[in-house]
Structure 1
Amino acid sequence: MTRMQNLVAVGDNCLDAYLSHGLLTVGGNALNVAAQWRRSGLAARYFGAVGEDPEGEVVLAGLASVGLSPDDVERLPGDTAVTLLREESGDRKFLHESFGVGENYMPSAEHYALVARADWVHLGTNANKDLVRRLVADHVPFSVDLSTAHLALPLEGVPLLFASGPDAADAPVEPLLTALRAAGAGQVVLTCGRRGSYFDDGASVVHAPATLIDVVDTCGAGDSFIATFLTGFHFDGLRAVDALQKASIAAAQTCTHLGGFPQEPRPLPGWLPAKYASFITDPQGA
């Protein structure tokens, strides 16, 4: 594999609280992508923000555990992003999701100068619109994860975007692919759950099946997909269909453990349920 020395992920991070398990993991699309790059031996960096709170300390320790630098993360007054999850009948229920001080994150001037020199930049979900426009204007090679907010960002001139598409077999993907490319994206990757993934470069659309596996947790599977596709397609010379298939395998592997990248989950500290008590109810709603 080609070893890039200048990969950068920018944007969201979060602390995932698995209330049913009493455990915490560190994640967020941009942070997970950078973590997966680092785990692959690539010299990646992550730029984002956490609050001046205990949650922020946990996030910084988590990213440091995979070789990302806490010095690249800004500490801002306010709360770190937190997601509260509970399992009910085998499904995940989101009790609360806060983007915290990382919402609408814009790198400092010093950090942006580093971002603009990257060989590739990936923006996490809920990216800053002005940051997207600035990267386009500065001709920086980058991708962005739209998730399900398909047209929430300005897409004119965006080289590559990732989006979540329909997983029902009878739902056509072409209208969404067409809409995203018509909005200005150069290339589009659409992930559609068990249905697999699609790549559209304007000339053709290719498909790769999903890799099925016994799922422990789907958190971060899409982020592993993104990290693997980007390196495979843009830097390792893989054809789009082969990069999709390799990314599918990576996503499936992530589903075998809690969290968006392999880490030692931390016990849920007593202060966290107390802090977010208003969002936490028992399964009967009491």
Structure 2
Amino acid sequence: MTKANPNLIAVGDNCLDAYLNKGFLAVGGNALNVAVQWRRHGLNARYFGALGADAEADIMLAAIEEAGLDRRDVEIRPGASAVTLLTDDAGERRFLLESLGVGEDYVPSDDRYAALRQADWVHLGTNSSATLVRRLVADGVPFSIDVSTRHFDLSLEGVPLVFASGPDDPAEPVEPLIARFRAAGARHVVVTCGKRGSFYDDGAGTVEAGSVPVAVVDTCGAGDSFIATFITARFFSDLPGKAALDRAAERASQTCTHLGGFPQPVRAIPQWLLAKYDAVIRSTQRAGT
């Protein structure tokens, strides 16, 4: 269908990324990045997720508000906010710690779930709740889910659209992976394969598109930009599959040209955060990672 300004909601993961070797913080997470990308392009977007009652949440909420999203859509729950410690080498990231915090297996409150049922499209980020997936399927909500970090951990029966990572080696066929997702019950499947490009299967056939070469600053969030763009291009602008892949690849390449999953002020890592994770940092240094 064609719809100029659909009601879009991204649900799930957020994180505070601390780039230890570069000394700065970036706010991100698959679901949050998708919502921000929608908002940056003038779309009616919301983000539902959870944060702890801590100083990390203060940084996250400020960035969420700066991006044009409503901080009141974010739930504050007992526990810790998600934090990732990583290093970056020429745009390639190495993760030292991924703490999912209170956002792990997040299921929105009843009032927020009611909003999901009215949405034109919902996107679920990585590490999504199996319970939430089944509820959305049962209620007939149009939605997608990113399963890049765990392809078949969740039941995909009846899921309208699955995004997944695939092999970047051209010699390795993508079709068997797509077939597995289809056999698992996914109706539409998008597989992204880095520089190799991307593939889309709608049940009637598979199309593919190349990537867009660019001078990489940071790959963080490129896949999320791809997801946000593909959804709107394919399902709300009625672009054919190949054209939707091409547009998504272009937006993903643009994201690689700046730090973080979306343009944001560079924040220095505060000393209190380094002190909080001092034991983790020291242990990884001793291990030579």
TM-score (norm 1): 0.97
Distance 1:4 1:200 in 2: 25
Amino-acid identity (%): 60
Counterpart residue number, 2:188: 187
Counterpart residue number, 1:113: 114
Moved over 6 A (4+): none
Distance 1:171 1:272, change over 3 A: same
Please give the per-residue CA displacement for 1:214-252, whole angstroms capped at 9, x wherever unaligned.
111100000000000001000011111000000001111
CA contact (8 A) 2:126 2:149 kept: no
Distance 2:3 2:115 in 1: 21
Q: How far 1:283 moved relative to its partner?
A: 5.6
Counterpart residue number, 2:257: 256
DSSP 3-state at the match of 2:185: coil
Please give the per-residue CA displacement for 1:258-278, whole angstroms capped at 9, x wherever unaligned.
111111121110001110112
Distance 1:187 1:90 in 2: 30
Distance 2:105 2:10 in 1: 14
Counterpart residue identity of residue 203, structure 1:
A
CA contact (8 A) 1:158 1:185 kept: yes
Counterpart residue number, 2:102: 101
More moved, 1-10 vs 169-178:
1-10
Distance 2:227 2:91 in 1: 26
> Where in structure 2 are the equivalents of 1:219-230 lying within 5 Å?
219-230=220-231
Distance 1:57 1:273 in 2: 16
CA contact (8 A) 2:12 2:49 kept: yes
Please give the per-residue CA displacement for 1:65-95, whole angstroms capped at 9, x wherever unaligned.
1111110001111111011111357742211
Counterpart residue identity of residue 92, structure 1:
R
Counterpart residue number, 1:155: 156
Counterpart residue identity of residue 182, structure 1:
A
Distance 1:83 1:44 in 2: 25
Distance 1:216 1:240, change over 3 A: same
Are residues 1:217 and 2:218 paired? yes
Distance 1:156 1:5 in 2: 25
TM-score (norm 2): 0.96
Counterpart residue number, 2:237: 236
Counterpart residue number, 2:30: 29
CA contact (8 A) 1:148 1:165 kept: no
Counterpart residue number, 2:269: 268
DSSP 3-state at the match of 2:88: strand
Counterpart residue identity of residue 77, structure 1:
P
Distance 1:122 1:91 in 2: 26
Note the residue ranges of structure 2 that are not aligned, 5 or more in a row: none
Distance 1:89 1:57 in 2: 29
Counterpart residue number, 1:55: 56
DSSP 3-state at the match of 2:147: strand
DSSP 3-state at the match of 2:98: strand
Distance 2:90 2:210 in 1: 27
CA contact (8 A) 1:13 1:29 kept: yes
Counterpart residue number, 2:47: 46
Note the residue ranges of structure 1 that are not aligned, 5 or more in a row: none
Counterpart residue identity of residue 229, structure 2:
T
CA contact (8 A) 2:163 2:189 kept: yes
> Where in structure 2 are the equivalents of 1:124-135 lying within 5 Å?
124-135=125-136
Distance 1:85 1:131 in 2: 29
